[in-house]
Amino acid sequence: MPGIQAAKSRISEIAIFARLIKVESGGLSRELARHVLTLGFEEADQARMSDLATRNQEGELSPEEQEELQSYVKAGHLLALLHSKARKSLKQKRVS
């Protein structure tokens, strides 16, 4: 079951990164937090992800494209963690 093992590996990488950046603690400067929230995928990447996702649902991806799609998914999870940390940081700064 290589697919299951790979999924566990990806989850572990995301969990490790979340612990590494201490998502729950916030702690970014207001300026940095605002900058982090501007980070996102460009239009070309969004179009590529949409194409890969659609073709994946139809079972039409090559192994290389499946790997590319998983890379986009992983990058999206990491970006979501960074955005979460930034939002918590901004919220903490308002409360303080």
The pTM of the full predicted model, rounded to 2 decimals, is 0.78
Q: Which two tokens stand for residue 80?
A: 């979501």
Q: Which amino acid is at 62?
A: S
Give the torsion through C-alpha atoms of 9, 36, 21, 91, to 10 deg: -120
Q: pLDDT tens across 30-84, in order?
A: 999 999 999 999 999 999 999 999 999 999 999 999 999 999 999 999 999 999 9
Q: Distance (Å, rounded) from C-alpha 87 to C-alpha 10?
A: 24
Please state the domain extents for the chain.
Answer: 27-95
CA angle 32, 82, 22 (to 5 degrees): 95
What does the pLDDT read at residue 19?
A: 85
What does the pLDDT read at residue 27?
A: 86
